[in-house]
Amino acid sequence: LAKTTQPISMDSYEGQEVNITCSHNNIATNDYITWYQQFPSQGPRFIIQGYKTKVTNEVASLFIPADRKSSTLSLPRVSLSDTAVYYCLVEDNQGGKLIFGQGTELSVKP
């Protein structure tokens, strides 16, 4: 069964680059790795998704090594409004279960 591991919390300062890594073994070989952002009292919001190598959009980059046993969400130049919980989501390689990470609580300080 796939298992995901993320740091529980991270601290940063405005303007810094933040990298959050999710370790995930036994993930489906033909499926995506997806990251979500969640603010208090709101549902998670899709940030970015990738299959391999690097994906970049207007808010983040996602780095996935060739073995796909981990992925790193990169947030460039964070601001106070990036303070949130970030989750990775993968699909298990047996039975296709969706597995959310435990979430990383990012705190951005001025």
Q: What residues make contact with other proteins under the rule CB under 8 A?
A: 31-32, 34, 41-46, 49, 87, 89-91, 96-98, 100-103
| DSSP 8-state class, residue 68 | -
> Least distance in Å: CB of 97 to other proteins?
6
Q: Of the two residues 98 and 109, which places its CB atom closer to other proteins in the complex?
A: 98
- What distance in Å separates the CA atoms of residue 64 and residue 71, rounded to the nearest whole number? 5
The residue to which tokens 């990169």 are assigned: 74
Of 61, 69, 66, 106, the C-alpha closest to 90 is 69
Q: In the bound complex, what is the minimum distance in angstroms from residue 110's beta carbon to other proteins?
A: 27
Q: Supply the minimum distance, in Å, between the C-beta of residue 14 and other proteins.
A: 27
